[in-house]
Amino acid sequence: MEKKAKEQLKKLLEMSKEQFTEMEERWKDFDKDSLFSVRKSKDFHLGYAYGKIEHKFISWFYSEYGRSQTDEEYEEFFNTVKEHASKGF
């Protein structure tokens, strides 16, 4: 991916990090009480966040470059998000 696209993705991931910091606190509270299945909630929110990041990035990419991402560019996008998520989003 080009530098501009990497910077845009970094912005989206930083915005999502703030939201997940708040969600992590709520999950910890729910987990203590054992009232809810925190794992399902976490998986759902992670999937939702990934979908939103993907949608926003792909829309931005298309409007910026006037084309869809190549398979290689999408793979780089996916791996970047996956790496970011493994560090605690």
Using CA atoms of 57, 58, 63, 67 in order, give the dihedral in degrees to the nearest 10. Answer: 140
The predicted model scores a pTM of: 0.71
Instruction: Supply the DSSP symbol for 87.
Output: T
How much is the pLDDT for 17?
Answer: 78
For 36-88, write each residue's pLDDT tens digit: 666 666 777 778 888 889 999 999 999 999 999 999 999 999 999 888 877 76
**Dist CA 9 CA 69 (whole Å):** 13
**Looking at residues 20-48, what average pLDDT do you find?**
70
Q: What is the pLDDT of residue 6?
A: 93
Helices (H) and strands (E) in the chain, counts: 3, 0
| pLDDT value for 48 | 81
Alpha helices, DSSP H, located in the chain:
3-33, 38-65, 71-86
